[in-house]
Structure 1
């Protein structure tokens, strides 16, 4: 993987949370908020010792209540992780302008979606708390015809050296196929199954159609 010129392509990348709002720009279909997670090191080390799977649905308050109840049983001293998820929900609420969400916090040990694809939604937020982050493609690296005709990754991405990866802990918002008047970003899960790796993945989807900025 090689770095891309973020001024010339489809990604908005920065160390300020406001970069996530750039997902609404017509020229962007991916926004990455780069950050550190030193404050969660201890909790994530404990989380890595046990499988986790929690799904929650509803308002931010309802989701945090469900997550808190779950984490109380599986991860003692989970205040930092729960607070971080609350913060990310708040950021996504600002981006989407909706009030109801679907959240998944789960340990992943398989390759999940191994083909580069676009999600069938408007927007999705992802954060990989430990393990490898999501792989994504600059638009100039994609053979869209190969993708639309069902071809495999070797045809969709003629040059594998252009594949990019979200860093562990960074927050990414992805445009899906239902976002109006846009080209969705193609992405896939990293290959972890063969080496017995795991990821702790947070996924947040809106439960409602977006209230898009004018």
Structure 2
């Protein structure tokens, strides 16, 4: 599996995806043949420590649709207090920052927010989302995995006994791929994933899945949908 480890790279890309340490890369999602755009950014220690401290207090997490104004009012009420007010504020500020970026990028007024504490994979099978686009960001633990479009095939070569001769794995979408082609975001990487409801670009929906969560470890996932 190939993790995105290009914090010092200016730009990384393949045919169907883009990755850069420059946040402007997120705008590349509007390109017709791009299904995944990833802003690689460094970990924010205050935010990480906050989620370590409050993981058990997060309960079922946080879900709701908020305008930017209501987000700033409601998120502080819904997130538990940590050991440090500075850590909680840093966590709030980052959710607001990503929400602000999303509403600006897609010219919308509200965001669907989902912050989920996980002790196991939420969506362990490769799938596509039935939405136009989604922002994903992992605050704690490993990031989301996805398959570049150019790395999957729907008609692999088979031998006379029907066995796959290319060493490929088949997902539930009927696509075959090599395990080595799976890409993975790092914690704090911000990814935009096209869904199959992106008008006119349905065939470029991002094929992705939740990473495995090692027993005894935790993961905190944030997803934002433009509304």
Relative to the length of structure 1, the TM-score reads 0.84
Q: Distance in 1 between matches of 2:216 and 2:57?
A: 14
Q: What secondary structure does 2:109 align onto?
A: coil
Asked if the contact 1:127/1:170 (under 8 Å) is kept, the reply is yes
User: Counterparts in 2 of 1:156-175, with a 5 A limit?
Assistant: 156-175=175-194
Gaps of 5+ in 2: 5-10, 157-169
Match of 2:53 among 29, 46, 70: 46
Counterpart of 2:210 in structure 1 is 189
- Spell out structure 1 runs of 4+ moving beyond 6 A: none
Q: Distance in 2 between matches of 1:154 and 1:195?
A: 28
Q: How much does 1:143 deviate?
A: 2.9
Asked if the contact 1:134/1:187 (under 8 Å) is kept, the reply is yes
Q: Does 1:93 align with 2:103?
A: yes
Counterpart of 2:131 in structure 1 is 121
Q: Distance in 1 between matches of 2:176 and 2:139?
A: 27
Give the greater-gyration-radius structure (CA): 2
What does the per-residue CA deviation read over 1:13-48, in whole Å, with 9 as the maximum and x for residues that have no partner?
A: 111111111100112111101111234243233234
Total equivalences in the alignment: 201
Asked if the contact 2:13/2:19 (under 8 Å) is kept, the reply is no
Q: Which moved more, 1:3-12 or 1:47-56?
A: 3-12
Bigger strand fraction: 2
User: Counterparts in 2 of 1:72-111, with a 5 A limit?
Assistant: 73-75=80-82, 77=85, 78-111=88-121
Counterpart of 1:212 in structure 2 is none
Q: Distance in 2 between matches of 1:18 and 1:96?
A: 13
Relative to the length of structure 2, the TM-score reads 0.80
